[in-house]
Amino acid sequence: MNKIARRAISGVLLLDKAAGFTSNAALQKAKWLYRAEKAGHTGTLDPFATGLLPLCLGEATKFSQFLLDADKVYRAEILLGVRTASGDLDGEVIAERPVNIDEVMLSQALERFRGEIEQVPPMHSALKHAGRPLYEYARQGIEVERPARRVTVYGLELESFDGRLASVRVHSSKGFYVRALADDLGEVLGCGAHLTGLDRLKVGPYHLDDAISLETLAELTEDERDARLLPPDNLTLDLPRLDLDLEAAWQISHGQAIWRGGLRVGDLLRLYAPDGRFLGVAEVDQDGKAAPRRLLASG
Which sequence positions are flagged as catalytic?
46
Q: 257 with 287: CB under 8 angstroms?
A: yes
DSSP assignment letter at 43: S
In sequence order, which residues have a C-beta less than 8 Å from that of residue 217 and are 6 or more positions away? 15, 30, 33, 225, 228
Q: How far apart are CA 90 and CA 83, in angstroms?
A: 11
Q: Which residues pair with 243 in a beta bridge?
A: 272
- The region that residue 56 occupies, defined by phi over 0 for left and psi between -120 and 50 for alpha, beta otherwise, is beta
Please state whether beta strands 241-243 and 193-203 pair in parallel, antiparallel, or not at all (unpaired).
Answer: unpaired
Q: How far apart are CA 210 and CA 200, in angstroms?
A: 13
The DSSP element (H or E) to which 270 belongs, if any, is strand 268-272
Q: Which of 170, 228, 258 is nearest to 14 (CA)?
A: 228
* φ, ψ (nearest 5 deg) of residue 271: -110, 140
Other C-beta atoms within 10 Å of 256: how many?
Answer: 13
DSSP count for the chain of H helices, then E strands? 8, 18
DSSP assignment letter at 62: G
Q: Which residues pair with 217 in a beta bridge?
A: none
Q: Which residues pair with 14 in a beta bridge?
A: 54
Q: How far apart are CA 262 and CA 237, in angstroms?
A: 20
DSSP assignment letter at 85: S
